[in-house]
Structure 1
Amino acid sequence: MPDPTPSPLRVAVVGAWHVHAGDYARRTLEHPHAELVAVWDDDPERGAALAGDTGAPFTQDLAGLLARSDVDAVTITTETVAHREVIGQAIAAGKHVFTEKLLAPTVAEADEILTAARAAGRQVVVSLPRLYHGYATAVTEVVDGGTLGRLTYARVRLSHDGATAGWLPERFFDPATAIGGALTDLGCHPVYLVQRILGSTPQTVSATYRSLTGRDVDDHAVVTVGYADGAIGVIEAGFVSANPFTIEVFGTEGSLTYSDATGELLLSDAKGRSWHAAPVPADAPDAYDRWLTAIATETEDTDNLERAVELTRLVVAANEAARTGTAVDYA
């Protein structure tokens, strides 16, 4: 990756609500072209704890923080429901934005954010980390190469035991701030991977949400998407069991599987009788690096943002399908 800035990008953390707030703060601390200058959160205890962990000063004054000339950019890890307002304030203050998914609770709000960023010449990148992992590159190359034939089915599962083991903060189960449960948070990763494999725009979205722990949002979920060409995608996410991350893709001429239990990408023939390992390249530059590059080159990361908007669209459709018990027209 080229040197993205002539001097370190001065970054502030805006929000300690999300569990990845500390991860992005550490990414800033460890990056040779970034510097962490401050932490803000609307909960002083939570914000001060993150500030203590990172060594950055804590402030309770968001407007004052965004007005500072020594803050070039912010990482946004507030509750999802606050994204439009907080990201909008940051852009209006002239700050570049790296944000946790979802970009916004609705497609209209996501579009509003990006329109404002483009008008202001500010760069926004959304954390969609698994798009840039080596296995995602390998799967895409196999699919695009056509060796699987006509694609018929793709399934991606990601889960952890945060709800049953008790380590996921209770605020993640508050529908008023989190917007949803397992699908809306962890399920974003299987969503954008299925969209990458089968296409961003299915025809229909169906969903089954359940709460094993009795909370007010889903703690595990399955979403099924149907495509105009006949392909089916299955998206699985959960907070109630720690299973290996899994990708399966089937076609008329072959199949593909990947699991982080083994780290192997396996390909088979049409009959599924002969399997062999395929190479998995190193990870590509991650979303944070892509953000710094976008800032340095004054070039929008269009692929990231288009996928972030379609991710939002599909999650909104899945939540509606689960709420109504019907298949939702994606358009």
Structure 2
Amino acid sequence: MIRVAMLSRWHVHADDYAKQIMKNDEAEIVAVWDEDSKRGKRWADEIGVDFEPDLEKLLSRTDIDAVVVNTPTSMHREVIVSAANKGKHIFTEKVMAPTVKECIEIKDAVENGKVKFCISFPQRTFPANLFAKRVVSEKLIGDITLLRIRNAHNGAIANWLPDYFYNAALCGGGAMMDLGAHPMYLSRWLLGEPVSISSVFNSFTEKPVEDNAVSVIEFKNKAIGIVETGFVSTNSMPWLEIYGTQGVLIIGGPEDRVYISSTREDVGTRWVDKDELPKALPMPIEQWIAAITKGEHIEFGLNEGMELTQLMEGAYASFNEGRKISFSTLLR
């Protein structure tokens, strides 16, 4: 049985992770820490576990094997490095850290501590996206020329996001840093090494961070990726389009269906039945627990976390500097 401490309820997904752990027979929550003591104490009482206000004291406890990090992104390096130095296995909400430099510090600490590390990339477990990976890898629509992924909601205009999600110092950014992480890591997974990135961000609601954002990424294979996100789109549907030299793949729409059209005779043109899609992978928390208890593989770890931060750091540098950013100086 893996004994887990929840580190902060700051992120909106913290409750989801706690529920996933409590449903897993191989893990249990034994303690909570939070940078906001009042919030942490309330959460610990709800779960029925100890609240520990001192992070170093909590990380020194011998009855804790692993931690789930849901702190502000700006605290990730400090918290994760401390946990790794104490020999605790680590699961973290994305983004791994705001800068590649901080990610390298995290990577060194995790490797030196010989602990299991997983970052939350849930959309890489979805059957339709696994099918997209197969389409790209097997060139079912030829060489890829363009990818477009949209992931947006109405959190800013419907006022259901917490106010601190608009604090750049805590979050490292706005909509792109949070919701945009999903199309960012999917684009990197599907298209490979990026060469450059250009961003257009604005604040439709005039909040302190961007709530409407697009980044355009050029990849080494000459494909172009368009990443769209925002907190100001009501009823926006997840959408993935991949265009190649021999066809197209479309995923999404009101029924979240998969459509492929290829000049290859063995592929053809059709709506893809659900039973043709790959089986969903275990969710990130489940992969992490299985890696600790059974030595199983984690699909998204340190390197994938660093790759996402590379894209994010480049995206924000492009917006702030008003120019295209080359990745030749990042993640080297």
What TM-score do you get using the length of structure 2 for normalisation? 0.92
1:5 is aligned to none
> 1:323 and 2:323 equivalent?
no
The CA distance in 2 between the partners of 1:211 and 1:247, in whole Å, is 24
1:109 to 102, 106, 110: 102
RMSD of aligned alpha carbons? 1.8
Give the superposition deviation at 1:170. 0.6
The CA distance in 2 between the partners of 1:253 and 1:184, in whole Å, is 33
Give the superposition deviation at 1:274. 4.6
2:259 is aligned to 266
SS state of the match for residue 249, structure 2?
Answer: strand
The CA distance in 1 between the partners of 2:105 and 2:296, in whole Å, is 19
1:154 is aligned to 147
SS state of the match for residue 125, structure 1?
Answer: strand
Query: Would the aligned equivalents of 2:86 and 2:113 in 1 still touch at CA under 8 Å?
Result: no
The amino acid of 1:140's aligned partner reads K
2:74 is aligned to 81
Give the superposition deviation at 1:136. 1.5
1:182 is aligned to 175
1:238 is aligned to 230
SS state of the match for residue 301, structure 2?
Answer: helix
> 1:226 and 2:202 equivalent?
no
What does 1:248-327 correspond to in 2, within 5 Å? 248-259=241-252, 261-269=254-262, 274-278=269-273, 279-297=276-294, 301=298, 303-327=300-324
Query: Would the aligned equivalents of 2:74 and 2:170 in 1 still touch at CA under 8 Å?
Result: yes
Give the superposition deviation at 1:165. 0.6
SS state of the match for residue 64, structure 2?
Answer: coil
The amino acid of 1:204's aligned partner reads S
Provide Cα deviations, 1:265-298, integer angstroms capped at 9, x if missing partner: 1101359x95432532331112112212322355
SS state of the match for residue 103, structure 1?
Answer: coil
2:53 is aligned to 60
Query: Would the aligned equivalents of 2:3 and 2:64 in 1 still touch at CA under 8 Å?
Result: yes
Which moves more between the two structures, 178-187 or 49-58? 49-58
Provide Cα deviations, 1:132-178, integer angstroms capped at 9, x if missing partner: 11111111111112121111100111011111111100101001111
Which moves more between the two structures, 287-296 or 122-131? 287-296
Consecutive unaligned residues of structure 1, counting only runs of 5 or more, are 1-7
Which moves more between the two structures, 202-211 or 223-232? 223-232
SS state of the match for residue 280, structure 2?
Answer: coil
Give the superposition deviation at 1:20. 0.9
Give the superposition deviation at 1:49. 2.9
Give the superposition deviation at 1:302. 7.0
The amino acid of 1:178's aligned partner reads C
What does 1:97-136 correspond to in 2, within 5 Å? 97-136=90-129
Give the superposition deviation at 1:45. 2.2
1:209 is aligned to 201
The CA distance in 2 between the partners of 1:31 and 1:293, in whole Å, is 10
> 1:163 and 2:160 equivalent?
no
The CA distance in 2 between the partners of 1:55 and 1:77, in whole Å, is 19
Closer/same/farther in 2, CA of residues 235 and 75 from structure 1, 3 Å limit: same
Query: Would the aligned equivalents of 1:182 and 1:238 in 2 still touch at CA under 8 Å?
Result: yes
What TM-score do you get using the length of structure 1 for normalisation? 0.93
Aligned residues: 322
Give the superposition deviation at 1:303. 4.8
The CA distance in 2 between the partners of 1:300 and 1:148, in whole Å, is 29
The amino acid of 2:146's aligned partner reads Y
The CA distance in 1 between the partners of 2:135 and 2:249, in whole Å, is 8
